[in-house]
A and B are shown apart, each in its own frame.
Chain A
Amino acid sequence: MPIALRLALRQWFNRPLRPILCSIAIAAAVALIICVGAGFDSLRYSLNTAIGQLLGVAEVHVRASQKGTDTRVPAAMLETLRHRPEVEMANGRVQGFARLTKEGEEPRWFQTVGIDPVMDEKLRPKGYTSGHAFSGKADEITLDSGVADILSLRVGDRVLFNFDGTDATNRSVTIVGIVARPAIDLISKPTVYAPQTLFPGDAQMPLGYNVIDLKLRNVEDFDTYSTNLGKELGPAVMVSPGTTSKARMGNESHMIQMGLTLLSVVSGICAALIIGTTLSVGVQERIRQFGQLRCIGASRSQLVTFLAADALLLMIGGLIMGVALGLGLSSLAIHFLPQFFLAYKISASSLGIALANGCLATLVGTLVPIWQLTRVTPMAAVTTTAHRARSKRLWLAAVLGLSCLAIQAALWALIPSREVRFLSYTTVGIPLIFIGYTLLGPMCLIALEKHGATIIGLLMGIKPSLLRNAWSRTPWRAGAMIAALMIGVTLFTTVRARGESILKSWSFPAKFPDLVLFSPTSVSAKRIDLIRKDHPEAAEISGLAAFPVKMPNSAFRVGEVLANGSTNFVAVDPQSFPTMVEMDFIQGDRQSALRKLAEGGHILISKEFYNARGLGVGDKLTFLDHEGKTVDFTIAGVVTSNGMDMAKNYFDLRSTFQEAAISSVLGTLDDARKHFQLNGVNLMLLNLNPQAANAAASNKLREDLQQEGFQSASSVEMKTGIRDLIQHVVDILSIISVGGLCVASLGVANMVIASVHARRFEFGVLRAIGAGRWQLIRLVLAEVTLIGLVAGILGALAGLHFTFMGTLVDRTMVGFPTKFLSPTWPGRLVAIRDSLFVAAAITILLAWLASLLPAIKGAYAAQRTLLAGGRA
Chain B
Amino acid sequence: MEPAVKVTHLKKSYRQGERQVQALRGVELTIARGEFVAIMGASGSGKSTLLHLCAALDRPDEGSIEVAGQKLETLSERQLTQFRRRRIGVIFQQFNLIPTLTAFENIALPVQLDGSFNAQHSARIGELLRILKIDHRADHRPDALSGGEQQRVAIARALIMEPPVLFADEPTGNLDSNSANQFWTLLEDAARAFDTTIVMVTHEPTAARHADRVVVLRDGQVSGEFAVQDFDDPGALAAHYQTIAT
Contacts and interface: CB of A to CB of B under 8 A. Distances in A.
Interface of A: 3, 6-7, 10-11, 13-14, 288-289, 292-300, 302, 377-379, 381-382, 871-872
A871 B96 CA distance: 11
Given A7-B101, A11-B100, A378-B84, A295 B55 contact: yes
Interface stretch (B63-71, B107-115, B182-190, B229-237): B107-115
B110 A378 contact: no
Contacts of A302: 113
A14 to B, nearest CB: 5
Contacts of A293: 98, 109, 113
Q: Sort chain B's interface into a size bin.
A: 20 to 34
A14 B100 contact: yes
Contacts of A13: 100
B100 A10 contact: yes
A299 B143 contact: no
A302 B114 CA distance: 10
B153 to A, nearest CB: 12
Interface stretch (B19-27, B85-93, B130-138, B203-211): B85-93
Contacts of A299: 78, 81, 113
B157 A296 contact: yes
Given A7-B100, A872-B99, A381 B57 contact: yes
Contacts of A14: 99-100
Contacts of A11: 100
B58 interface: yes
A19 B109 CA distance: 24
Contact of A381 (B92, B109, B114): B92
Interface of B: 48, 52, 55-58, 77-78, 81-82, 84-86, 90, 92, 94, 96, 98-101, 105, 109-110, 112-114, 142-143, 157-158, 161, 169
B57 A295 contact: yes
Contacts of B82: 297
Contacts of A292: 96, 98
Contact of A297 (B58, B77, B84): B84
Contact of A377 (B58, B109, B112): B58
Q: Which of B55, B56, B78, B98 has the most CB of A within 10 A?
A: B98
Contacts of B90: 295-296
A10 B86 contact: no
B206 to A, nearest CB: 24
A294 B82 CA distance: 10
Contacts, number: 79
A297 B113 contact: yes
Contacts of A294: 57, 81, 84
Name the prevailing secondary structure of the A interface residues: helix
6 contacts: A3-B109, A295-B84, A297-B161, A378-B55, A378-B56, A382-B92
A298 B100 contact: no
B87 to A, nearest CB: 9
Nearest to B77: A300
Contacts of B96: 288, 292, 295, 381
A297 B114 contact: yes
Contact of A296 (B77, B94, B113): B113
Pairs A-B, 10 closest by C-beta atoms: A297-B85, A10-B100, A378-B57, A297-B84, A299-B81, A3-B112, A292-B96, A871-B143, A14-B100, A296-B110
Contacts of B85: 296-298
A13 B92 CA distance: 27
A870 to B, nearest CB: 10
Contacts of B81: 294, 297-300
Nearest to B101: A10
Nearest to A289: B98
Given A296-B90, A297-B110, 17 more contacts: A6-B105, A7-B100, A7-B101, A289-B99, A295-B84, A296-B85, A297-B86, A297-B114, A297-B161, A298-B113, A300-B81, A377-B58, A378-B56, A378-B57, A378-B58, A382-B94, A872-B143
A14 B143 CA distance: 12
Nearest to A298: B113
Nearest to A296: B110
Contacts of B101: 6-7, 10
Nearest to A292: B96
Contacts of B114: 297
A220 B100 CA distance: 65
A297 B57 CA distance: 10
Contacts of B158: 296
A294 B84 CA distance: 8
Contacts of B112: 3
Contacts of B143: 871-872
A379 B57 CA distance: 6
Contacts of A296: 84-85, 90, 109-110, 113, 157-158
A300 B80 CA distance: 11
A378 B142 CA distance: 21
Nearest to A9: B100
B48 A7 contact: no
Contacts of A297: 81-82, 84-86, 110, 113-114, 161
A297 B112 CA distance: 10
Contacts of B84: 294-297, 378
Contact of A382 (B57, B109, B161): B57
Contact of B58 (A3, A289, A379, A872): A379
A299 B78 CA distance: 7
Nearest to A10: B100
A468 to B, nearest CB: 21
B80 to A, nearest CB: 9
Point out which of A10, A295, A379 has the most chain B C-beta atoms below 10 A from its C-beta: A295
A13 B100 CA distance: 9
A102 B21 CA distance: 108
Contacts of B57: 294-295, 377-379, 381-382
Nearest to B85: A297
B240 to A, nearest CB: 30
Contacts of B48: 382
A482 B130 CA distance: 53
B145 to A, nearest CB: 9
A7 to B, nearest CB: 7
A294 B161 CA distance: 15
A363 to B, nearest CB: 25
A313 to B, nearest CB: 13
A381 B93 CA distance: 11
A298 B161 CA distance: 13
Nearest to B142: A871
B113 A3 contact: yes
Contacts of B100: 7, 10-11, 13-14
A306 to B, nearest CB: 10
Nearest to B112: A3
- With most chain A CB atoms within 10 A of its CB, the pick from B56, B105, B113, B158 is B113
B173 to A, nearest CB: 13
Contacts of A378: 55-58, 84
A378 B52 CA distance: 9
B194 to A, nearest CB: 16
Nearest to B167: A295
B113 A7 contact: no
B232 to A, nearest CB: 35
A623 B85 CA distance: 82
A8 to B, nearest CB: 10
A378 B86 CA distance: 15
A521 B52 CA distance: 89
A71 B78 CA distance: 82
A336 B57 CA distance: 64
A297 B56 CA distance: 10
A299 B82 CA distance: 8
- Chain B CB within 10 Å, residue with most, of A3, A293, A377, A379: A3
Contacts of B52: 379, 382
B200 to A, nearest CB: 15
A671 B85 CA distance: 92
Contacts of B92: 381-382
Contacts of B161: 297
